[in-house]
Structure 1
Amino acid sequence: MPSDARTAPIRRTAGPAAAVLTVLALAATACGPEDDTSPKAAPPASATASPSSKAGLSLPKSLKDLNLQDLKNWSLSDWSKWADAHGFKNDLVKGFWDLTRMEGAKGMDPQEAGIQSTTTAPENDPQPSVITAKPQQHPYSASTAVLGKIFMTVDADTGAVCSGTVVSDPAHPGRSNLVWTAAHCLHEGKGGDWFKKISFVPSFNRAGAASGGKRATEAQLAPYGSWAADYAVVSPQWVEEGGHKGGPASQYDFGVIRVHSESGDGRSLEETVGSSVPVWFNAPRDQITSAFAYGYPQAAPFDGRELEHCDSTVKPARLSFDASRPSMYNIGCTMTGGSSGGGWFVNRGGKPALISNNSIGPRPAAWMAGPALGAQAKQMFDYISQKKD
């Protein structure tokens, strides 16, 4: 679920970090987990409570013609039926996320890694070595302006925060208004509802005015303004199974929001920040030899004011709760709550591509896992990309 004001930055080593920044520049234009009590076992995923995927997924009576076990064969019309039945309605009031509310939002923890994986050994690799998250240098360039904070309310009085990434929209090239994040940053999961007042703030604290505990203005924290969510979609598996502890639903812990500027100047999000990153769906695992995770972690020892990153120069480990589902990626990372939903990037043909998002991890933070974005993630993305206003 969303962690109050936390993101999961990826650690960078000097060489790889510089390389990724260079790669990201080419694209310019254009929550806290529980302690892992079994360190010798395959790292547990921190996504859902205890529901088992074997129990089967259910649908409202009005949608019995759709089969959640056969999502790969859903048409865009099927996705539309399902999304309409689980209707997202954002009640955000313009100007709601002012300076006081942004600073008071709590980091949403990566899902708790409190249960052990139930899959066979071949589906899980040894726990990766710890990689310490490092802050991104100020001021953030257009290449890193694609990253930002997602604010939401989890009840009438509690604000929370995750991380998100501006991703390219094939249906609107150069004018994307889409932000990729974790499903648990948008929806409570099984038996729950959508979070409220969802808004994206790209390049939060871009110039570093709020760094080191300094008092900053709202304009300094949100240099590109606030972008309210018009629409949101998450995986059906998350809605049916998701919870507070790691589980099979974590393997589908992804979502997308479509936003508009509260300033009403008519420009798209991509045009405003100067960049977007394409999503690489169905990325062959043998081609993923490194991964760079970003986010705005807020739980100690972080304070939510810095964009952090964990740079893994080795192939991500596999982590799985259900062998019938795509294994998650797993890298060493010390990011904490608030980093949930932050993007994972790789170099694809000299350009950056998003392959995952921060989802689950243990407490204390030592590694971070994110879902592989396969066919169902692409179907979800195609649906919101092509959805008419």
Structure 2
Amino acid sequence: MRPIRPVLTARPGRSGRRLPSSVLAVAAVTAVLALTATACGPSEDGANAEPSNSVGQTSDDKITIPDDLRDRLKEHGVDLDKWKNGEWKNWDKDTWLREAKDFINPIIEGLWDPDRMRDADKAPEQPVDNDISGDKGVTDPTPAPVRATNVQSPYHGNAAESGKLFFDGPEGSMVCSATVVKDPANPGKSNMVWTAGHCVHAGKKGGWYRNIAFVPSYNNSGLSLAELKNAPKEKIAPYGVWWGQWAQTSDQWIADGGPTGGQGAAYDFAVLHVAPEKGSTGKSLEETIGSALPVEFNAPAVPKVDNMTATGFPAAPPYDGQKMLQCKDKPGRLSLTEADPTMYRIGCSMTGGSSGGGWVAAGQDGKPALVSNTSIGPVTAGWLAGPRLGKEAKGVYDAVSKKYAGQ
């Protein structure tokens, strides 16, 4: 068993990836900076990005970075002038930023062009063992496989909160799935996105991923891979590209998370605060797509849940990462260690790339709410498991919300 890891691709000239806490201590990311940059690859044309609040702009449209911020980043070996020109591809230990204060995610406008987004799905993930006989605690029998079904297009009309997450890491471009959630500090104007911890941070042996960007209703019309090769960006990203401005995951994931065996899986969740690539339009992400899901941190125990629906963009075979799919099943219990919280588990055929996708069930008020996210599953792709969201998840969620209260 292992996390449903993001799918990797090492594409010549475009390699890179993005690195994908509790109430007592949460891990955070610093500022997103809008930079004028040329994206990687011979066919990608850079464009001037709108500066964020931390970035100045001269009369000749050159971007300026405040000296204190520039100096602080240089303390960690990060030169933004070099970063925007490709230094983000340097993944030695000194530049693979691990701690909260070390995370940076400057907007590089045009980096995630249609080709790069489409090609981020090519490489499948590594096989994992389906044997969980060594698990402790309470584990129900393995659920019967449930075949994932295509979400009816346009996706925005049926799962408006769902989208696809892109990022870069040492082995290449990667993908996950994610969900727009409500922000209690900014009602009706949320810029918060829920995903898996392993979609933003590599866990105990790595650090934060880079170039994290969220695309709501990716490939909204459900075009085939062949059709997408000639599709304009408006078809692929109809509601724009939203870059991670801040990210937090659990302390447990950072300390214990690993690529195999389910280490840290019970705490494998993360929250992003995002900003539009093209600069502020005056509308939040929630206003732009017209919806956001509440998060339920006290979901009923498994026996009381009739069903949960997991949504995602599976990219490992037999899928290609371009279509939104769903699985609906009555959940069972999965316990990886006796000390960790019990996870939810459902039958589902979705594969790598579906990680981070939201699990929706009836909340305490009877209305749809996000109650978990895809974390782990076997190579046989017969089931998925996700964390049960408790005080640690609420701590991450509340911290991100409070950071941007009133903004």
Q: Residues 48-197 of structure 1: matches in 2 within 5 Å?
A: 74=24, 78-79=25-26, 85-87=99-101, 88-106=103-121, 109=125, 112-113=128-129, 116=132, 118-120=134-136, 123-155=138-170, 158-197=172-211
Note the residue ranges of structure 1 that are not aligned, 5 or more in a row.
7-67
Q: Distance in 1 between matches of 2:217 and 2:124?
A: 18
- The residue matched to 1:214 in structure 2 has which SS? helix
Task: Give the residue type in structure 1 aligned to 2:207.
Answer: D
Identical counterparts, % of pairs: 44
1:307 to 311, 320, 324: 324
Match of 1:266 in 2: 282
Match of 1:22 in 2: none
1:292 maps to 2:286: no
Say if 1:109 and 1:340, in contact at 8 Å, map to a contact too: no
Say if 2:139 and 2:335, in contact at 8 Å, map to a contact too: yes
1:305 deviates by: 1.2
1:247 deviates by: 3.0
For residues 103-126 of structure 1, what are the alpha-carbon distances to aligned partners after superposition, in whole Å with 9 as ceiling and x for unaligned? 111368599456636443x51110
For residues 230-285 of structure 1, what are the alpha-carbon distances to aligned partners after superposition, in whole Å with 9 as ceiling and x for unaligned? 01011111101111112341111100111011122121000001100011002121
Match of 2:7 in 1: 4
Residues 79/297 of structure 1: CA separation in 2 closer, same or farther (3 Å cut):
closer
Match of 2:62 in 1: none
Say if 2:109 and 2:278, in contact at 8 Å, map to a contact too: no
Higher relative contact order (CA closer than 8 Å, sequence separation 6+): 1
Indicate the structure (1 or 2) with the bigger Cα radius of gyration. 2
Q: Distance in 1 between matches of 2:287 and 2:377?
A: 34
- The residue matched to 1:300 in structure 2 has which SS? coil
1:382 to 385, 398, 406: 398
Residues 117/383 of structure 1: CA separation in 2 closer, same or farther (3 Å cut):
farther
1:278 maps to 2:294: yes
Q: Distance in 2 between matches of 1:309 and 1:5?
A: 22
Match of 1:236 in 2: 251
Match of 1:13 in 2: none
Q: Distance in 2 between matches of 1:168 and 1:117?
A: 38
Residues 110/220 of structure 1: CA separation in 2 closer, same or farther (3 Å cut):
farther
1:347 to 357, 362, 370: 362
Task: Give the residue type in structure 1 aligned to 2:398.
Answer: D
1:359 maps to 2:375: yes
Bigger fraction of residues in helix: 1
Match of 2:237 in 1: 222
1:363 deviates by: 1.0
Match of 2:54 in 1: none
Q: Distance in 1 between matches of 2:203 and 2:130?
A: 17
Q: How many residues in Structure 1 have an aligned counterpart in Structure 2?
A: 316
Q: Distance in 1 between matches of 2:401 and 2:210?
A: 22
Task: Give the residue type in structure 1 aligned to 2:257.
Answer: G
Note the residue ranges of structure 2 that are not aligned, 5 or more in a row.
10-20, 31-98
Say if 1:168 and 1:178, in contact at 8 Å, map to a contact too: yes
Say if 2:152 and 2:158, in contact at 8 Å, map to a contact too: no
* TM-score, length basis structure 2: 0.73
Residues 248/186 of structure 1: CA separation in 2 closer, same or farther (3 Å cut):
same
* TM-score, length basis structure 1: 0.76
Say if 1:114 and 1:245, in contact at 8 Å, map to a contact too: no
1:83 deviates by: 6.7
Say if 1:114 and 1:246, in contact at 8 Å, map to a contact too: no
Q: Distance in 2 between matches of 1:5 and 1:137?
A: 27
For residues 11-53 of structure 1, what are the alpha-carbon distances to aligned partners after superposition, in whole Å with 9 as ceiling and x for unaligned? xxxxxxxxxxxxxxxxxxxxxxxxxxxxxxxxxxxxxxxxxxx
Task: Give the residue type in structure 2 aligned to 1:145.
Answer: A
1:161 deviates by: 0.6
Query: Cα RMSD over matched residues?
Result: 2.3
Residues 249/111 of structure 1: CA separation in 2 closer, same or farther (3 Å cut):
farther
